Structure 1
């Protein structure tokens, strides 16, 4: 009997030691990082948090990093706390025989992956004359390689150019061919078509167009261009008008909000991210101003953070953005609390080995995805922040920020994946 009791106690002790041996601890994570040659060469912020909220390990958690597209986590939070479950396409007023529209920044109209046809059918079938209310210009940093933020985006503010077997090219939407002009001063080694640095032209060199040529490029976008493209699409006259908003405006909604967020987060779409902030701004006031939306979220949702973010845009393209790992982790928790449905939140995130910017970064483990995270990449910077599920059934939130490395990004990404995969397998 005594031997049986001793054996039972020994077995219990071994089981306890085995469970303890597989527990993720601060000491074990620190050892992993110290043994990584790559992570000793640059600036690394890392935090891992248990599902209960307990911090397992933190490194440089209170130091500011350039977050790159981790900024979109903050943009997602803005959408969730300001917008409803559907995206407002425009506000409108019916006055006599006229339908007057106040666009809200909805990017879904004729977007190749977002449009559900509701706005088109509403405008195509209306018996009223259509007017678009002119509004104050949107303030943003100009760029010649990404779509302009806009009051009324159409076709994602891009044109698709394809070479033909005739030695020329075609443009979609076709009406934009009138803006494509040859430029004899443009010297290129091979044919390309570019957005002019000023004005609204698309310019190309006087060179043969390869039949295999294909390019998707942004075109200059303002309310006049929106009016022009909408008129061509609907085949009816559209006019701009100066008019202040009345008191009894209707709102027409286009797509489910989660559809927009998913297409923003999975491929890390910078254009959609800026438009989400404009949509938030239109809900808060009469003008479209990204800083108004950012300020609202900071004052009402991020006011208690130890390190308030220096937050400049919706996409993370600005290097003026500065967030600490602690701040990013706090936003992960806010997103989870706000949605109250982790499965819904995971559906909005790139999934390792499955979707978005993590599709090729991770391999499935036993046929399962185990990491859902927002990536961020700028030159010399790469980040991942999100959720990790382990083989032992544990769930962790993590923030992994790398700044100022000189190695190729692929090497840093591979090391991040190795560490997160190790945590998956062992703990």
Structure 2
């Protein structure tokens, strides 16, 4: 027994000695943060004088494999501005199918009853569809009855109140007509004829209301020349028409050249009925939506193909189309007694955005609201989902293209053709861009480059963002 005990101690001692003398296996290294994977890019951002004083976030991933390539403050939340339109686009892809729902209707006796679905294309100046117009114009019923439906407020949460008169903030609604804007076409001013004594009858540069074409013509009697009290020093040089905040009165500013401008009008059921009746030349009354179960067959009229709306919305960043897109999506989920942006956002976040790195704080369809918040890596995650679910050629064709069209047309030029396709997002002191870029090695990279609270010149900001992305294209 004693001999066996010594033998056991000898064996154990030998094993312990061998373990002590053998080199220790190094611990498995944790994956380095994204910034350390591309130290040259980290240095480029850290050393930039333009990017030094504001919040900067950058996220890169391989669009084909989903591999994370780089991250710089990618877990922090930013105000995304119009890059939020990509979430509205994603909602439409999953809820709307191939065409837009234009209106819902049923017929009873001598009356066609119809209500809105949020379709913005009726007599819209940029994405016009005549489907609903022709349908209402040619219906055999002698009477047309528009039926109200509960809808969101005209302005979204946290929208800037004094932007009511700018083209980019029309009011939302269930049954839009003319895109809820008035279009003005200003002619070059006529040479002023001198009166006796050589005094000009018209102030130089002033475009009288008579020399402005107005569409729809319904608003022409409500247009006049701007009074001196309206010509405040802070007016933007591209502003040609002003509207008062509480009524549909429009005032033309002085100008020495031809111009085109859009100004939103204040919406109401009464005004919509007058505009529709004036256009159709058919009286349209108001009635309650009360289809009888089992007797009145409620149908949906479909109109424009969805890509026509997506393309316009994403390329030029059309806020109105994005807002109305979510209202149309709401007809596909839940009850049919209301059009609700909030209902769509809640549904999409719960059912369609699973797997994104961080929660999305989502308030509206367009990105006008500063209540929207997102991290760069989550925005890149959405771009990866889009690339997986939408054929690449179709996806890129819907986005603005560098040197080609949309909000990127003046930048990212290359003789070989577009290498950046994306969505911009701009608010005061916020300049963001995200999308896809093709590197010189042929790799397609999904990127989100967010800049919040900058105080440098916007032109300098755009130049710096382009400089960084060109380096990514050249070196990845």
TM-score range, shorter chain: 0.7 to 0.9
Question: After the TM superposition, which residues 167-186 of structure 1 pair with which residues of structure 2 at under 5 Å, given as runs?
Answer: 167-169=208-210, 170-180=213-223, 186=229
Alignment match, 1:387: 436
Q: Displacement of 1:162 after TM fit?
A: 3.7
Q: Displacement of 1:282 after TM fit?
A: 2.4
Partner residue of 1:194 out of 219, 223, 242: 242
Q: Which moved more, 1:26-35 or 1:415-424?
A: 26-35
Deviations 1:230-287 (A, max 9, x none): 1111101111111235553111111000110111000001111111111111222321
In terms of Rg, which structure is larger? 2
Deviations 1:373-412 (A, max 9, x none): 1111111111111111112111111111111111011111
Scaled by the length of structure 1, the TM-score of the pair is 0.87
Could you say if the C-alpha distance between residues 126 and 43 of structure 1 is closer, same or farther in structure 2, counting changes exceeding 3 Å?
Answer: same
Alignment match, 1:144: 165
Contact 1:227 1:238 in 2 (8 A): yes
Contact 1:92 1:99 in 2 (8 A): yes
Q: Displacement of 1:338 after TM fit?
A: 2.6
Question: After the TM superposition, which residues 39-118 of structure 1 pair with which residues of structure 2 at under 5 Å, given as runs?
Answer: 39-50=51-62, 51-118=64-131
Alignment match, 1:134: 148
Q: Distance in 1 between matches of 2:349 and 2:47?
A: 38
Alignment match, 1:4: none
Question: After the TM superposition, which residues 142-291 of structure 1 pair with which residues of structure 2 at under 5 Å, given as runs?
Answer: 143-145=164-166, 146-163=169-186, 167-169=208-210, 170-180=213-223, 186-188=229-231, 193-199=241-247, 201-204=248-251, 212=258, 214-245=260-291, 248-284=297-333, 285-286=335-336, 287-291=338-342
Q: Distance in 2 between matches of 1:109 and 1:188?
A: 34
Q: Distance in 2 between matches of 1:53 and 1:162?
A: 48
Is 1:402 aligned with 2:451?
yes
Question: After the TM superposition, which residues 346-385 of structure 1 pair with which residues of structure 2 at under 5 Å, given as runs?
Answer: 346-364=396-414, 366-385=415-434
Q: Displacement of 1:163 after TM fit?
A: 4.4
Alignment match, 1:13: none
Contact 2:151 2:340 in 1 (8 A): no
Q: Distance in 1 between matches of 2:442 and 2:225?
A: 61
Contact 1:151 1:222 in 2 (8 A): no
Alignment match, 1:411: 460
Q: Distance in 1 between matches of 2:102 and 2:40?
A: 51
Deviations 1:271-315 (A, max 9, x none): 111111111112223211111111111111124434211111111
Deviations 1:112-145 (A, max 9, x none): 2212322222221111121111122422346333
Alignment match, 2:348: 297
Is 1:322 aligned with 2:402?
no
Q: Displacement of 1:33 after TM fit?
A: 2.0
Contact 2:357 2:381 in 1 (8 A): no
Q: Distance in 2 between matches of 1:417 and 1:45?
A: 15
Contact 1:167 1:211 in 2 (8 A): no
Q: Distance in 1 between matches of 2:288 and 2:377?
A: 46
Could you say if the C-alpha distance between residues 399 and 176 of structure 1 is closer, same or farther in structure 2, counting changes exceeding 3 Å?
Answer: same
- Secondary structure at the aligned position of 1:392 is classed as coil
Q: Displacement of 1:212 after TM fit?
A: 4.5
- Count residues in correspondence: 400
Q: Provide the alpha-carbon RMSD of the alignment.
A: 2.4
Unmatched segments (≥5 aa) in structure 2 = 1-35, 191-206
Q: Distance in 1 between matches of 2:435 and 2:264?
A: 31
Contact 2:99 2:304 in 1 (8 A): yes
Q: Distance in 2 between matches of 1:280 and 1:83?
A: 6
Scaled by the length of structure 2, the TM-score of the pair is 0.78
